[in-house]
């Protein structure tokens, strides 16, 4: 290859040196591993093409003319606003389309024999992923996080690997809100040894808490990918917020060959520091997998210790104290920045909301970016973690209803597994203004009942510590979702006139206002489509014990 000498200005020299240092660090992480899992950012150095080419999945495809970029990336926000866009105003009048991403990378020969995975935090939408020309899989849902196993197809040493991702957001409209397009959340390369903690493989609960003691239960899922059984030790050490060791628990396990095993551990923390809105204190659990005295995997799980309840008459209590949830419905986009995840922008939003007195977030109307929940944990917000904006019945011609039957169980399971250790998450919402609310008065369509029960069963099979709700805009006892019996909290969107009738129409049931006020604004003009802004203060001024 012919070398080319250039004169680089001092400022660019700093950038080049920084880039070289980052590459060296990444190489060191990959080369220097001793079997302990490492998660490395895989965001840098992708190539992108807006358009479709059926041969782009091939490793030999020539992508030299494609644009070079780093992820996360939203291509729709880069396009001109277009009044004829099929996305409509709900989609920001910005077009979708089809886009391709490719990344070429190498791995040192010394890492051969380890397990490698690629984690996508979110791709909108209909993504297909290939490695070295072989299809790994597809994922229609644009909001869910997912993983692929790269191990069987990887090359090592001087041989190059090519990962290709096709994103299809061409069928419009498919969302009622601005979705963005592309690999708009972070991507990670995960390296693990032969025995490791599974993806989202820990579950930490605190079944008993008081001011003197907190019992901590830890469930760990392990994967032994070897051809022999392994006698291993699983050790979990808990650290406080200052990274000081508090206590540890160890278990011995005979991990069966090519199987996933579960380990349950229990320990206690004396005088626990509780997680609260104004004091969001976090602990960390570090789980080590030890084989013949050697740590072969390490997995950390932040968690908080708190307890809460919803009372039929008195409302919400956190750590035994009454608390009014002052919440907002937060869509995943970042306004004029688009949907590409930007942690500082998310943090700034939450800082402004905190300054306004907000303490609750509803993830309208899909699973959020992991960064949002991390920030909510650290900054002190309660979160209603919402799964779906529609079920089998459509709101738009090309929305998630097309994929419901094949994917809802997988997508909901992955959401709960990913998010269930976050202390900020207090409520699971199985849907927003779902069309299956209606239709059962005469027995002609009761599908809403069965679907709600199915969703609740999936959640309760993975997490029994949080209540389930659904944002209903039909505040009637004959609402099919309500009649399912699946809701621990009955949620109303708007319909403030019905609040006073709730105890009579829904005797003994717990209520939460899932959405109360909406506004449309532009350049100082505000339009309130609901009169709820005039109704809410009457309830707001009630003392907590009477709320």
Cis peptide before 72 (omega within 30 of 0): yes
Contact 14, 169 (CB under 8 A): no
Separation of alpha carbons 384 and 364, rounded Å: 9
Separation of alpha carbons 497 and 356, rounded Å: 26
Q: Which residues share a beta bridge with 209?
A: 214
Q: Buried (b) or exposed (e) across 135-158, using 16+ Cβ within 10 A?
A: ebeebbbbbbbbbbbbeebbbeee
pLDDT at 22 (0 to 100): 38
pLDDT at 443 (0 to 100): 61
Write the CB contacts of 379 (distance below 8 Å, at least 6 apart in sequence).
280, 347, 350, 351, 354
Contact 307, 209 (CB under 8 A): yes
- pLDDT over 70 percentage in the chain: 87
Q: Flag the least confident range among 41-45, 129-133, 204-208, 538-542.
A: 538-542
Mean residue pLDDT of the chain comes to: 90
**Which has more pLDDT, 30 or 45?**
45
Strand stretches in 89-169, DSSP E: 97-105, 115-120, 127-131, 134-139, 146-149, 161-169
Catalytic residue flag (residue 433): yes
Q: For 501, which DSSP code?
A: G
Q: Flag the least confident range among 85-99, 278-292, 330-344, 530-544.
A: 530-544
Phi-psi region of 524 (alpha: psi -120 to 50; beta: other; left: phi over 0): left
Separation of alpha carbons 372 and 415, rounded Å: 14
Task: Encode pLDDT of 408-456 as tens digits.
Answer: 999 999 999 999 999 999 999 999 999 999 986 656 788 999 999 999 9
Task: Encode pLDDT of 267-298 as tens digits.
Answer: 999 999 999 999 999 999 999 999 999 999 99
Write the CB contacts of 219 (distance below 8 Å, at least 6 apart in sequence).
202, 203, 204, 262, 263, 264, 265
Distances from the Cα of 468 to the Cα of 369, 385, 425, 463, 502, angstroms: 20, 10, 11, 11, 18
Task: Encode pLDDT of 353-376 as tens digits.
Answer: 999 999 999 999 999 999 999 999
pLDDT at 545 (0 to 100): 52
Q: Flag the least confident range among 103-107, 304-308, 537-541.
A: 537-541
**Which has more pLDDT, 348 or 34?**
348
Question: Does the pLDDT value for residue 24 go beyond 60?
Answer: no
Q: Flag the least confident range among 168-172, 330-334, 466-470.
A: 330-334
Task: Write out the DSSP string of 286-304.
Answer: EEEEEETTEEEEEEEEEE-
Separation of alpha carbons 143 and 333, rounded Å: 12
Return the closest-CA partner of residue 111 out of 26, 13, 48: 26
**Which has more pLDDT, 403 or 534?**
403
Three-class secondary structure assignment of 507-530? CCCEEEEEECCCCEEECCEEECCC
Return the closest-CA partner of residue 164 out of 141, 143, 134, 142: 134
Return the closest-CA partner of residue 153 out of 195, 222, 187, 105: 105
Give residue 517's pLDDT band: very low, low, confident or very high (50, 70, 90): confident
| Mean pLDDT of the 451-466 span | 98
Question: Does the pLDDT value for residue 525 go beyond 80?
Answer: no
Contact 404, 391 (CB under 8 A): yes
pLDDT at 64 (0 to 100): 97
CA-derived radius of gyration, the chain: 25
Return the closest-CA partner of residue 328 out of 523, 516, 56, 54: 516
Secondary structure class of 376 (helix, strand, coil): helix
Separation of alpha carbons 65 and 63, rounded Å: 5
pLDDT at 533 (0 to 100): 52
Q: Which residues share a beta bridge with 260?
A: 223
| Mean pLDDT of the 148-154 span | 98
User: For the chain, what's the residue count?
Assistant: 547
Secondary structure class of 190 (helix, strand, coil): strand
Helices (H), 316-446: 343-355, 370-379, 404-419
Catalytic residue flag (residue 371): no
Task: Encode pLDDT of 226-282 as tens digits.
Answer: 999 999 999 999 999 999 999 999 999 999 999 999 999 999 999 999 999 999 999
288, 298, 480, 515: the active-site residue: 515
- The single residue listed with the structure tokens 């709960």 is 416
Helices 447-462 and 404-419 meet at what angle, rounded to 10? 30
Helices (H), 32-123: none
Count of alpha carbons within 13 Å of 1, Cβ hemisphere only? 3
| Mean pLDDT of the 502-528 span | 81
Which element (helix H / strand E) includes 502? helix 502-505
Strand stretches in 76-114, DSSP E: 97-105
Give residue 397's pLDDT band: very low, low, confident or very high (50, 70, 90): very high
Return the closest-CA partner of residue 184 out of 415, 338, 394, 367: 338
Question: Does the pLDDT value for residue 9 go beyond 80?
Answer: no
Give the pTM: 0.90
Which element (helix H / strand E) includes 431? strand 425-432
298, 433, 436, 480: the active-site residue: 433
């Amino acid at each position: 290859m012919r070398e080319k000498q250039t004169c680089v200005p001092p400022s660019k020299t700093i950038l080049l040196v920084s880039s070289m240092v980052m590459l060296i660090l990444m190489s060191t992480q990959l080369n220097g591993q001793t079997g302990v899992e490492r998660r490395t950012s895989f965001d840098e150095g992708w190539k992108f093409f807006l358009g479709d080419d059926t041969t782009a999945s091939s490793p030999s495809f020539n992508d030299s003319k494609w644009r070079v970029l780093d992820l996360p990336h939203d291509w729709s926000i880069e396009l001109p606003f277009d009044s004829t866009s099929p996305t409509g105003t709900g989609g920001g009048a910005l077009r979708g389309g089809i886009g391709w991403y490719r990344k070429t990378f190498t791995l040192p020969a010394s890492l051969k024999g380890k397990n490698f995975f690629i984690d996508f935090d979110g791709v909108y939408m209909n993504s297909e992923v290939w490695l070295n020309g072989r299809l790994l899989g597809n994922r229609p849902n644009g909001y869910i996080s997912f993983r692929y196993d790269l191990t069987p197809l990887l090359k090592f040493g001087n041989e190059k690997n090519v990962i290709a991702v096709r994103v299809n957001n061409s069928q419009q409209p498919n969302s009622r809100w601005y979705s963005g397009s592309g690999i708009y959340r972070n991507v990670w390369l995960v390296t693990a040894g032969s025995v490791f903690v599974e993806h989202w493989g820990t579950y930490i609960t605190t079944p008993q808490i008081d001011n003197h003691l907190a019992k901590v239960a830890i469930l760990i899922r392990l994967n032994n990918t070897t051809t022999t059984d392994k006698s291993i030790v699983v050790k979990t050490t808990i650290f406080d917020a200052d990274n000081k060791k508090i206590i540890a628990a160890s278990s011995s396990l005979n991990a069966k060959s090519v199987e996933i095993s579960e380990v349950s551990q229990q320990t206690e923390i004396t005088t626990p520091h509780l997680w609260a809105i104004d004091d969001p204190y976090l602990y960390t659990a570090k789980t080590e997998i030890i084989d013949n005295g050697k740590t072969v995997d390490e997995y950390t799980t932040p968690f908080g210790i708190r307890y809460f309840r919803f009372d039929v008459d008195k409302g919400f209590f956190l750590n035994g104290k009454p608390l009014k949830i002052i919440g907002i419905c937060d869509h995943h986009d970042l306004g004029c920045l688009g949907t590409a995840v930007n942690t500082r922008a998310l943090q700034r939003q939450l800082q402004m909301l905190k300054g306004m007195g907000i303490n609750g977030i509803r993830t309208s109307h899909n699973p959020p970016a992991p960064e949002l929940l991390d920030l909510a944990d650290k900054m002190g917000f309660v979160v209603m973690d919402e799964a779906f904006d529609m079920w089998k019945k459509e709101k738009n011609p090309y929305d998630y209803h097309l994929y419901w039957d094949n994917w809802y169980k997988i997508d909901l399971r992955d959401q709960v597994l990913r998010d269930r250790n976050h202390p900020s998450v207090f409520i699971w919402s199985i849907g927003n203004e779902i069309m299956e609310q209606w239709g059962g008065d005469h027995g002609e369509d009761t599908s809403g009942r069965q679907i709600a029960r199915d969703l609740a069963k999936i959640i309760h099979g993975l997490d029994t510590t949080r209540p389930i709700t659904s944002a209903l805009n039909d505040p009637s006892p004959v609402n099919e979702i309500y009649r399912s019996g699946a809701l621990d909290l009955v949620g109303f969107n708007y319909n403030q006139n019905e609040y006073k009738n709730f105890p009579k129409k829904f005797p003994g049931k717990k209520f939460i206002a899932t959405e109360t006020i909406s506004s449309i604004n532009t350049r100082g003009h505000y339009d309130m489509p609901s009169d709820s802004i005039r109704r809410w203060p009457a309830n707001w001024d009630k003392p907590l014990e009477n709320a």
